[in-house]
Amino acid sequence: MTPLEHYPVVDLGPLMKGLVIGGLGIFHVFLAQFAIGGGMLLCYLQWLHMRGACTLARRFIDDYFKVLVLVSFVLGAVTGVAMWFTSIQVSPRTIGVMVREFHWVWGTEWTFFCLEVVAGYLFYRYGPRLADAARLRLLVLYAFGSWMSLFWINGILSWQLTPGSWIESREVWEGFFNPGFLPSLLFRTICAAAIASLAACVLINVVPGFTRSERESLVAICGRPLVLMLGMPLVGAWYFGSMPADSRGWATGGSVPMTMFLTMAVGSSMLIGLYAVLGILRQRLYVNGATAGLLLSLAFVATAGGEFVREGVRKPFTIREYLYSNSVARDGIAELRERGVTADDPYPLRDEAAYPSEQLVLGGKVFRAQCSVCHTLGGVNSVIELTGTWSLEQKRLNIAQLQKTKPFMPPFAGTPEELEALVQLIGWIDAGRPAAWEESHDPLVLAEIRRWIDAAGTRPGRASLAGLPGGEPPR
């Protein structure tokens, strides 16, 4: 495996790439879970209708399915493709490894997606004209296809954080059925059921033609799957427990944003769960459109928080123990420290003429290769802001020992000359990009940087990661 593959790096200006992929991911996950839970809910309603337990179900199913098709088959499907394309924009190497290692799993998922689309569209088009038994069969196949899509994708996504024994064996099924697979699948299934129920409560109030008592009856029935949220704390704890200790550490105080987002996810879920169990299911409260909309918004907040945490706790990796967040291979650090991270970079800087020295151009390339996936030079999570209070020497030391400065950062993967160039670039931008900037090639400084880099080692910063296979033994 090569230490780094050079791709042209996308510049999103002041936007952090993680925000772009994160924002889209949250939106897509929410839609996908709505579709998955929707399929299960509609099967249940159709079954109730066939047992004579809900006379309104058939009509409501047809209304709900129209929304499902318009939302899920258009926005859900296209945002799914968008996730692929956005992943390429943000981290081509990560998505490249995922595709290579799991292309048959992805292919299998695609066959279920085909089933979901065909069964779903047949129901949308012909459902109202079909007898109950045929409707139920189509709905079951639709729900099964959509849930199986989750099954396959969940294995790939959970593998990123908990690759398990795949790291040694490189066996696809050992990676797929990783320690996080089952708890994550169960957790997402509960989320999907809850989102679909809440969306149904919104729809019951929006669709014209139902009387107040009919709405009450439908809300009571569609709210039933929310009881699954009672299992959320247990499954959530199992899921959380399946994560590596250092990842859990980020979300439990190690990183303030992670902890905040986890609190947001847990808090929102708890509020929804309490209202669902005590209000909707126990006291049979009527949920009007505004309340249902508010609950659904809370579910979106919970999804956003949860997905942010899931993405964030992988740091400093995108594929744990294999690929760092800046696409440098875990075992490639030492080589890049000798060869240089920019040595094979065929791409010039876009505004090269604006840099007053070759060293600053080099610094720009180092930033682009190692930092730009998470940081900007003047926008969100700007390195200029983050290092603004550091002295020159602090910058050199802190970047040379980056994984020890901030343990969710990967180790610096370049030569002392490249590190010095990056430090000079930061200083130059912080000084307002003056027209002249003296180059810094002091051999004593470079020797000191080399010493610091060597002292930091090539392993990740957290003690729990230090003894990973392929790493140096803990000191």
Torsions phi, psi for 95 (to 5 deg): -65, -30
To the nearest whole angstrom, how small is the minimum distance from the Cβ of residue 122 to other proteins? 5
In whole angstroms, the minimum distance from the beta carbon of 140 to other proteins comes to: 11
114 vs 290, beta carbon nearer other proteins: 114
Q: Find the shortest distance in angstroms from Cβ 161 to other proteins.
A: 20
Taking the least distance from each CB to other proteins, the nearer of 61 and 141 is 141
DSSP tag of 251: I
Minimum CB distance to other proteins, residue 77 (Å): 5
426 DSSP 8-state letter: H
Q: Quickly count: other Cβ atoms within 10 Å of residue 24's Cβ.
A: 17
Q: Least distance from C-beta 7 to other proteins, angstroms?
A: 5
Toward other proteins, which CB reaches closer, 5 or 358? Answer: 5
Nearer to other proteins, 28 or 396 (CB): 28
Terminal CA-to-CA distance of the chain, rounded, Å?
Answer: 27
Task: Decide: 190 and 231 in contact? Cβ < 8 Å.
Answer: yes
Residue 103 or 441 with smaller CB distance to other proteins: 103
Yes or no: say if 145 and 99 are a contact pair by the CB < 8 Å rule: no
Nearest to 139 by CA among 90, 70, 69: 69
Rounded to a whole number of angstroms, the minimum distance from the CB of residue 107 to other proteins is: 5
Give whole-number Cα distances, 340 to 335, 344, 353, 371, 453, in Å. 8, 8, 23, 15, 13
Which residue lies nearer to other proteins by CB, 181 or 187?
181
Bridge partners (DSSP) listed for residue 323: 319, 329
Provide, rounded to whole angstroms, the least separation between the CB of residue 325 and other proteins.
17
Q: Which is nearer to other proteins, 97 or 449 (CB)?
A: 97
Residue 329: strand pairing partners: 323
Give strand pairing partners of 382: 376
The token duo for 93 is 């190497």
Q: Select from 172, 178, 108 the least CA-distant residue to 320.
A: 178
Pull the structure tokens for residue 388.
């603004």
Give me the residues that bind other proteins (CB under 8 A), please. Answer: 5, 7-10, 70, 73-75, 77-79, 81-82, 84-86, 88-89, 92, 95-96, 99-108, 110-115, 117-119, 121-122, 125-126, 129-131, 134, 137-138, 141, 145, 170-173, 346-352
